[in-house]
């Protein structure tokens, strides 16, 4: 997560999850949720703002749950 932290500190957008990396430090990550909790704690410690789910959907131009047929 060091490179993710550096990217965020430089103003970049970041994402985490098992589809991006199977590792959490030197160990296999247990879940996406664990990775999200860890980077959230790091970003909070750096006083960086984390996007809400709605903001992330807007940034990625996603439809959102209210506009899909499943």
The range of the structural domain enclosing residue 41 comes to 2-67
What secondary structure, in 3-state letters, does the chain show? Answer: CHHHHHHHHCCCCCCCCCCCCCEECCEECCCHHHHHHHHHHHHHHCCCCCCCHHHHHHHCCCCCHHHCCC
pLDDT category of residue 63 using cuts at 50, 70 and 90:
confident
What is the rounded CA–CA span in Å between residue 9 and residue 4?
9
Q: What is the pLDDT of residue 17?
A: 85
- The structural domain count of the chain equals 1
pTM of this structure:
0.73
pLDDT of res. 6: 93
How far, in Å, CA of 31 to CA of 22, rounded?
A: 9
- Structure tokens that stand for 64 in this block: 């959102």
Confidence at residue 45, expressed as pLDDT on a 0 to 100 scale? 95
Q: For 17-58, write each residue's pLDDT tens digit.
A: 888 888 877 888 889 998 989 999 999 999 999 998 889 888
């Amino acid at each position: 997560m060091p490179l993710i932290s550096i990217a965020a500190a430089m103003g970049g957008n970041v994402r985490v999850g098992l589809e991006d990396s199977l590792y959490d430090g030197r160990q296999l990550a247990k879940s996406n949720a664990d990775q999200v909790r860890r980077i959230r704690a790091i970003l909070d410690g750096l006083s960086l703002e984390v996007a809400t789910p709605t903001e992330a959907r807007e940034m990625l131009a996603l439809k959102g749950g209210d506009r899909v047929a499943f």
